[in-house]
Amino acid sequence: MIRRDRSLPFAAAIAALLPGVTAADEASTAARLAAIHQDPPALRQFMREFPKGGDLHNHLHGSVYAESVIGWAAADGRCVVLATAQLGPPPCDPAAGRPTVAAAISEAGTYERLVDAYSVRNYERRPVSGHDQFFATFGLFFPGTVGHEGELIAEAAARRGAENTVYLELMQSFGMSEAASLALATPGRFAPGREAAALAGDPALAAIAREAREALSRYEHTWRERAGCGTPRADAGCGVTVRYLAQVIRTLPPEAVHAQIVLGFLLADADPRYVGLNLVAPEDDRHALADYANQMQEIARLRQRFPKVPVTLHAGELTLGLVPPEALRDHIRQAVEVAGARRIGHGIDVALEDRADELLATMAKRDVLVEINLTSNAVIGGLAGAEHPFLLYRRAGVPTALAADDEGVLRIDLTNEYVRAALTYPLDYADFKALSRNALAYAFVPGERLLTDTRTGQRIAACVGSSLVPEQATAACRAWLAKSEKGRLQAELERRLEAFEAAH
């Protein structure tokens, strides 16, 4: 029986205006969420099945769980320094405390210690901060992932698929260490301030870009093979549309960062699988702080050469006390106003920036989305609940979407972030639909948007009143969908939302 809740007339009224969505279905689903919004186990079930448009902030290496890395390292004959948990290539030396991973994990307690070392599991019990534990993990486990890039993608995609997510943008650094090495080997070659056209035409960098694209083809082939895509045993990841963001390590010397930025633009310009770029690594690192303004300027200069390549930036992932107050004044503003970022990752220090209200108004006006990473911010930044500016952004009309960030290292998944948001903030079902839809509306996958309003679900004129099932859509809507890759993904999400509401 469908329950009608008189407390939700707005959602029902909106739904009544929309074709394909039954007002009663949406109202009863909204009532169900209202009834369980402080019930974590029930919320977990609800949110796991709730259709999520996408995950726009997700690092490939950070999304893999330690257990996978340890398994690969053991099978590959890799070694581990017992005192530090550092993985590395053979030959191993058990007498010097560097046995094979396979031998090490046969000793009681070692497997568990390695899982802790490659993640923030049990970080509260350790003498280091969440911040330091988090960032220390990558260097320790990275050697265990080499040669398993396709499996990394497979794990990230499968988890999103199992959580009913349509789209995933993965940050990864394919080719970036080669670009950085090229810059460091030939000083002056990527000197900041050099003309963008000359940088973009560098033949050695072009060769690195070619190899990175070919490598991605190999990795995707491995992913689809392992996942059984196209066969009856296909896993849930096969149904997820995966695109990539070139991630630049911002803590390296300026020319090495610059070469990586150029590589990111080259990849996104040439290859539709690469949809944009981002800068990563601790923003509070002393080199990253010193070079921040220059990095924003270099992105601005290259955007003039590659105006169609969208940029999202980790900006304002800082807190008072982590850095001097002066470093909190304008990182988000520079990312938006100088570098032209269309999305901001984290942005947790926004209230500490100069003229924060004006900045928020600018972000709302320019339609800059903030990728919200609640667990990441709680563990790394110690920022949670009312301290987090999630609601501040929303009140200012800045679009937001929930993301998993480094879910493997953080020991979470995307569902957890929806549950966390529901338990922490006064959000109703319409809010969650908008958050889910935003994660596609603001994706960098090309094409016009199907929805003119992610809250109400209002569609572009060509598809009003039409079914969104391709074979059943009106001719006008079908023609429109054929032209927009993003629109087709959004149609898929709308169909999944209808199915979810009919079942809940």
User: 155 or 405, CB closer to Zn ion?
Assistant: 405
CB of 390 to Zn ion, least distance (A): 16
Kindly state the tokens that stand for 499: 């199915």
CB of 150 to Zn ion, least distance (A): 22
Residues with Cβ within 8 Å of 397's Cβ and at least 6 positions away in sequence, in order, are 364
Write out the binding residues for Zn ion, residues 89-118 only, by CB under 5 A.
Answer: none
User: What interhelical angle do 130-141 and 110-117 show, nearest 10?
Assistant: 110
Instruction: Give the x/- contact pattern for Zn ion in 135-154, rule: CB under 5 A.
Output: --------------------
Write out the binding residues for Zn ion, residues 405-424 only, by CB under 5 A.
Answer: 405
Kindly state the tokens that stand for 468: 């969104």
User: 403 or 491, CB closer to Zn ion?
Assistant: 403
User: 330 or 405, CB closer to Zn ion?
Assistant: 405
**Among 172, 161, 173, 152, residue whose Cα is nearest residue 54:** 161
Task: List the 274-280 sheet strands across, edge first.
Answer: 52-59, 165-172, 241-249, 274-280
CB of 281 to Zn ion, least distance (A): 9
Q: What one-character-per-residue DSSP string does 376-420 give?
A: HHHHHS---GGGSTHHHHHHTT--EEE--BSHHHHT--HHHHHHH
CB of 43 to Zn ion, least distance (A): 25
Question: Would strands 79-81 and 86-88 be described as parallel, antiparallel, or unpaired?
Answer: antiparallel
Instruction: Give the x/- contact pattern for Zn ion in 388-407, rule: CB under 5 A.
Output: -----------------x--
Rounded-to-integer distance, Cα 448 and Cα 144, Å: 40
User: 28 or 312, CB closer to Zn ion?
Assistant: 312
CB of 145 to Zn ion, least distance (A): 17
Asked if 137 and 122 count as a contact pair (C-beta separation under 8 A), the reply is: no
CB of 385 to Zn ion, least distance (A): 21
CB of 406 to Zn ion, least distance (A): 7
CB of 488 to Zn ion, least distance (A): 27
Alpha-carbon torsion (155, 161, 164, 170), positive or negative: positive
Sole residue written with tokens 């944009």: 276
Instruction: Give the x/- contact pattern for Zn ion in 336-355, rule: CB under 5 A.
Output: --------------------
User: 352 or 410, CB closer to Zn ion?
Assistant: 410
Binding-residue total with Zn ion (CB under 5 A): 1
User: 8 or 403, CB closer to Zn ion?
Assistant: 403
User: 149 or 405, CB closer to Zn ion?
Assistant: 405
Rounded-to-integer distance, Cα 160 and Cα 241, Å: 10
Kindly state the tokens that stand for 492: 């898929």
User: 405 or 492, CB closer to Zn ion?
Assistant: 405
Asked if 70 and 144 count as a contact pair (C-beta separation under 8 A), the reply is: yes
Rounded-to-integer distance, Cα 445 and Cα 255, Å: 29
User: 298 or 405, CB closer to Zn ion?
Assistant: 405
CB of 453 to Zn ion, least distance (A): 28
Kindly state the tokens that stand for 457: 């679900």
Instruction: Give the x/- contact pattern for Zn ion in 182-211, rule: CB under 5 A.
Output: ------------------------------
Angle (CA) 295 344 353, round 5°:
80
CB of 174 to Zn ion, least distance (A): 17
User: 59 or 148, CB closer to Zn ion?
Assistant: 59
Partner residues linked to 280 by β-bridges? 249
Cis peptide before 94 (omega within 30 of 0): no
With CB atoms as reference, the residue minimizing the distance to Zn ion is: 405
Helix (H) / strand (E) element for 55: namely strand 52-59
Q: Which residues bind Zn ion (CB under 5 A)?
A: 405
